Amino acid sequence: MRRIITVLLYLLWPFLTDAQKACSYTEYDNYLQTTHPGLTERYASLAQTLLNRQQASTTPSSNLFGVAAPVDAAVPDQIVIPVVIHIITPNGGKVVTDDQVRAQLEALNRDFNARNSDLANVPAHFASLVANPGFRFELAKFDPKGKATTGIIRKQTSIQNFVMDDRVKFSARGGDDAWDSDQYLNIWVCTLLNSIQGYSSKPGAPKEVDGVVLNQSVFGQLDTLNRYYMGRIAVHEIGHWLGLKHIWGDGYCGDDGIGDTPPQKTYNKGCPSGEIFSCGASAHGDMYMNFMDMTDDVCMYMFTLGQRAAMRSLFEKGGVRHSILAGSGLSGKGQQDNVDNPYPEIPAVRTLSLFPVPSQGQLTISITDGSFLPGRKAQVYNSLGQVSLSFLLNNPQQQVNISSLRAGVYYIQVEGGAYKAARFIKM
C-alpha cells in the first residue's frame, strides 16, 4: 500500500504544484526508480563508470566541465540521431500534422546546432560559454526490421489524457511500443493531463520506456498563441534524454554536475531580464536563458560548453548512447514503400574495401576480387540518400578526395558488377 501511495504522489505531483511548470523530469525519474527495482543501482553504476573514465583520462578535454568536445575520435562533429515519432491521438481528437513534425525537427536542428538568431541576446558575461552541441535529428528511414518507414507512426486511442505512468509507451495500454532505444530516439506525442508539458527518461532507463513524451499542445512551432510555440519543450526534454539535469540541479541551489553553469536556487519561469542572484556564489547570477531552465520559449536560447561535452560524452565508446552512431535507422536496408532507395538490393554481392575508416581527407577504395573494370561510375550518398559526390573508378585501388564532405556517415555505391554499398565515416 505504501508503494502505491508513493507512486500516486509522483504521478499527481505536477497537478499539486505550479500550473505553469513545463517539465516533470524529476517526478518522472523518481517514479521510474520506484517502479523499477534495481534502476537506482544501475544509475549509480553508470555514474561511477563515467567518473572512472574521466579520472583515467590524461587529456583535459575529456573532463565534462566547460570543454568543447570529447576526445574520442569515433564521435563525429555532427552526431545524427534517428527519430521515430509516435503520434497517439484520442478518438475524435485534434490531429498532429506532418507539418508540425517537420517544424519540430527544424526547431531541434536549429537549437542543437546554435543556429538560433536569438543567441544574440545572450548577455556578454555568458557569451564565451555558448556552445554548438552538434546534433542533427532526422526521421528514421528504416524500422527495426529493416523495412522502409517515414519515421512517423499514427495510432488512435480511447485514452483522452495520459499521465506519467508510461501507458503511452505500450500498445497494449493504449499507446505504442518503443523502437529499440539503442538505435532510435523515441518521441511520443499525445494529450497529457493538465500541467504536464513533457517528460523524459535519462540515459540508462529501461529500454522499453526510454525516450521523450510531449504534450501535443507544445509540439512543433505552429501555435504562435502558445507560450511554448518555438518547439523548445522538446529541446529541453531531449537535453534530459542526453543526460543533462535541470540547471539548478533539482535541489535548492543544487548542482547540475556541469562546471560552467552557475548555481541557482530553483527554476525561473516567464521571461526574466537583468541579473538575478538567487544563489550568492556566482558573479552574474542565474543563467535563466539556458535551455535547461524553465523560462518561456522566447527567453531560453543557449547550451554551454560544459553541457555540450556532457551530452556528447554519451556517444563515446562505452557510452550509454554510443550504439546509435552505428545504428541502422537511417541507413539500414529494407523494402521501400514510396521512399526512394539509393541502395537497391542486388542479387549477387561483391564487397568494396574502404580504408582508412573513419577518414578525413583521402579515402581508398579497393577491389581485389578480380571483378574490376575501369570506368565504372561510383556515387557517395549521405544519410538522407542524397548524392554528395560522383566519380569514375579507373583503378582497382583508387584514392578519393572526401575533404569537401561534412562529417557524418556515408555510403559508396558502384554501378554494375553487383557491388554492395559500402559504409564509411567522414570525420
The whole-angstrom separation of Cα 140 and Cα 150 is 7
Q: Does residue 237 have an active-site annotation?
A: yes
The whole-angstrom separation of Cα 160 and Cα 192 is 9
The active-site residue out of 237, 275, 316, 415 is 237
Active-site positions read: 237
